[in-house]
Structure 1
């Protein structure tokens, strides 16, 4: 492969790079330094950084951002209000034959709780995740006391948005656009919870304001 073909393959595998180049916000010298080791390995020879910079500049006008971002932005503008819940705890337990029984008891307790309780759970192939309000966390610990706890993360928050049910247009990549924006702003997403018509982003409590402002700007921008 030529140098241009090698660089093109690398860029096409990275949406971050592709969008950055298309929007003209990439420092070509810094990118060339970053890509140099990978290009050398792929081409099995030493390639000068200057040659990579020139190749990047020549191909920049050929790189186009996908139309997904515009679709995603329009979709987000039709979403419902942004809801924030704080003081959450995230538990992860190893799956076991007795875990389902514990979950059943937990759900029965949740159904009888009055007040403002946040609770979500998901079961993977090897572990089960439970996110709940701090006030309810002792009940989780009590019910799952005999189970193998993998992790427990305190001081979390959830930012929830409703899907635009009345909006009749699909938006491929809407979650990618949201998570990309959070990643670019160095916000660590601890969990991502979604149902058919809503989704919640679980973050560290100290990132509430920053996350809310980013989503608010996306919705109202």
Structure 2
């Protein structure tokens, strides 16, 4: 049987910003309890009083990963270099039996040009190729026989070097996404390797995204 505490937990988990504000004691418990009275009454199919909800809110303990734990703060402080690459183009292509062959032609074109930016991500139904815009025409030529779903110009990539053992810390990526969401940054693409995390944004969001990520180290 569901309880008021169960309902409070479900609502807070579905709204992480609200959950964090609650954990930092920067939200009015009484006002929030009144706000949650109607949805929780509907969830339980009976009338619930704000006082009971407020008690459940005060007893709620968020996951450790969402709090300012010493381990998380150390991990954020140890973030490595932040690299910005601009003038990028993203190709979204439907997967096919010939895509890998045409992809090989792209790699041959890039060769040893270390100054170029290039990534390839293969999903279940489609793949993404992100490349320096100077090679946009070459990429289009090699993909002319493929089903190109979308092409987006005027993109920039921000790459963060992550500390060793970052995969052992729960909630690290949450802090990136939370900060970017608070700043109103719309993510076009997210790419990650074991020790690197890259976001792709349209040029209009570059300054806000770079500043938001830099502040995480502080």
Distance between the aligned counterparts of 2:53 and 2:177, measured in 1?
27
Equivalent position of 1:218 in the other structure: 216
Q: Of the two structures, which has the highest relative contact order with CA contacts closer than 8 Å and spacing of 6 or more?
A: 1
- Equivalent position of 2:63 in the other structure: 66
Contact 2:8 2:56 in 1 (8 A): no
Between the aligned partners of 2:28 and 2:169, the Cα distance in structure 1 is 30
Task: Summarize deviations over 1:58-94 as a string: whole Å, max 9, x none.
Answer: 2333233433243333212112111111111111000
Count of paired positions:
213
Cα 1:9/1:142, change in 2 over 3 Å:
same
Query: Are 2:79 and 1:82 aligned?
Result: no
Q: 2:20 maps to which residue?
A: 19
Structure 1: 4+ residue segments shifted above 6 A: none
Distance change (3 Å), C-alpha of 1:145 and 1:155: same
Cα gap change, 1:4 to 1:129, in 2 (>3 Å):
same
Q: Are 1:4 and 1:55, in contact at CA under 8 Å, matched by a contact in 2?
A: no
SS in 2 for 1:117: coil
> Residues 18 and 64 of structure 1 are in contact (CA less than 8 Å); yes or no, is this contact kept in structure 2?
no
Superposed displacement of residue 41, structure 1? 4.0
Unaligned runs of 5+ in 2: none
Q: After TM superposition, list the pairs within 5 Å mapping 1:148-159 onto structure 2.
A: 148-159=147-158
TM-score normalised per structure 2: 0.84
**Alignment check: 8 A CA contact 1:190 1:204 kept:** yes
RMSD: 2.6
Partners of 1:94 and 1:127 within 8 A in 2: yes
Deviates most, 119-128 or 207-216: 207-216
Local SS of the residue matching 2:26: coil
Preserved CA contact (<8 Å) 2:166 2:195: no
Which residue is 1:125 aligned to? 124
Q: How far off is 1:13 after superposition?
A: 4.5
Task: Provide TM-score, normalisation by structure 1.
Answer: 0.83
Whether the aligned pair in 1 keeps the contact of 2:33 and 2:54 (CA below 8 Å) is no
